Structure 1
């Protein structure tokens, strides 16, 4: 399956405030804003990092560009960004029907809006490496195919590897316990679970904030504690 191929983006340390990672948002930005209020998020100092899947399923996917325009909001590409921009730019992924996976909202957008959304989502990186006071933290949407984070910076990190980063649930399904070397932690979404899970130094934080009865987990990247 074709994948986005943008580079890993390195983010410098936040020396004045907190950094949070949040699980899949899926067009539920009002609910996310409420969760941010509960942790007293300060947009003048704090930063929020999305693990991907900003859009589809929820009622506010059309607000995605407003959020991406915020200077404190950072996002990588998840599989739903991939589905959205491919269809928005006229080259849908044939193997997956975006409309059946929460993508009907895109049809309500004008052609001009679809073009802007598609171009913006296409430009998202597919991984973050965020500097923290205790060492770098990686963010990848779904899974990581190796036990060494340095692989992500090597030329042989292949399109198939990026495909794993967008779609795989193998590490979680197999409850693979080994840590990923040369990184403090790696944070994933994609797999919706009732409460945050940890396998080695890998954190799964999609706790279904976009679902009825779910909640958004905001993981403090400086302390690695959920809030």
Structure 2
């Protein structure tokens, strides 16, 4: 049995709209409210998630229902990767970061979650009428999307591939250094991982984790239209993070 693809490709949506959303962290009721507010139509629209589906929030087990929705397509975030590695990861670190919901599950359920989460790709690319849009959780490790394509789909040596995957799921270098050099060979790259008050655009890289999962509801879910790259709520003219 072959391993699930690390890069998934989606053709253009010719009948509806495509949106990306930031980190969810077990707040699916809030996410549904944000979708309802924009008139999201599951019959024709698609929702792409930049990962971190679980941990921290109260509805983590709802993720199974969402993963079974034919219009919902997430990449793997670092918190999702904890589920993939639950039998080998640093349990103490995971507990500190919201993993208690999982560790109390029966062992058979844990194994079933692992199977489902292992299907999540590291990156997604979506064709749009305006060009290709890439999605991953944290950061693109290369100056070119074509380089990432090669690493995730080629015969990359195991240790190198692990480093590439971990960078895609964990790195904050671009946003911490305000690196606006962008990523070549792709119209835009959309990511989350680092909470920001409003979406931050660095070159052609869109950081959209605006804290829809914050426990005090001080954040909100940003929905980014992948064709127009317009956000709901709108991205302010002056960006701060």
TM-score normalised according to structure 2 size: 0.88
Question: Are residue 224 (structure 1) and residue 223 (structure 2) matched?
Answer: no
Unaligned runs of 5+ in 1: none
Correspondent of 1:187 among 183, 186, 190: 190
Aligned-residue CA RMSD in angstroms? 1.6
Distance change in 2, residues 1:43/1:29 (3 Å)? same
Correspondent of 2:204 among 201, 206, 216: 201
Which stretch shows the higher mean deviation, 42-51 or 99-108? Answer: 99-108
**Cα distance in 2 between the residues matched to 1:17 and 1:96:** 43
Match in the other structure for 1:43: 42
Question: Residues 81-106 of structure 1, C-alpha deviation per residue, up to 9 Å, x if partnerless?
Answer: 1112211xx22x23862111100001
**1:143–1:168 Cα contact (<8 Å) kept:** yes
- Per the TM alignment, residue 36 of structure 1 is displaced from its structure 2 partner at its CA by 0.4
**Cα distance in 2 between the residues matched to 1:189 and 1:114:** 26
**Cα distance in 2 between the residues matched to 1:170 and 1:62:** 31
SS in 2 for 1:129: strand
**2:126–2:132 Cα contact (<8 Å) kept:** yes
**Cα distance in 2 between the residues matched to 1:59 and 1:122:** 22
Question: Are residue 178 (structure 1) and residue 161 (structure 2) matched?
Answer: no
Question: Residues 28-75 of structure 1, C-alpha deviation per residue, up to 9 Å, x if partnerless?
Answer: 000000000110000001000010000000000011111000011011
**2:21–2:222 Cα contact (<8 Å) kept:** yes
**1:179–1:202 Cα contact (<8 Å) kept:** yes
**Cα distance in 1 between the residues matched to 2:107 and 2:36:** 34
- Per the TM alignment, residue 6 of structure 1 is displaced from its structure 2 partner at its CA by 4.3
Structure 1 runs of 4+ off > 4 angstroms?
A: none
TM-score normalised according to structure 1 size: 0.93
Match in the other structure for 2:67: 68
- Per the TM alignment, residue 5 of structure 1 is displaced from its structure 2 partner at its CA by 8.3
How many residue pairs get aligned? The number is 221
Distance change in 2, residues 1:62/1:40 (3 Å)? same
**1:5–1:159 Cα contact (<8 Å) kept:** no
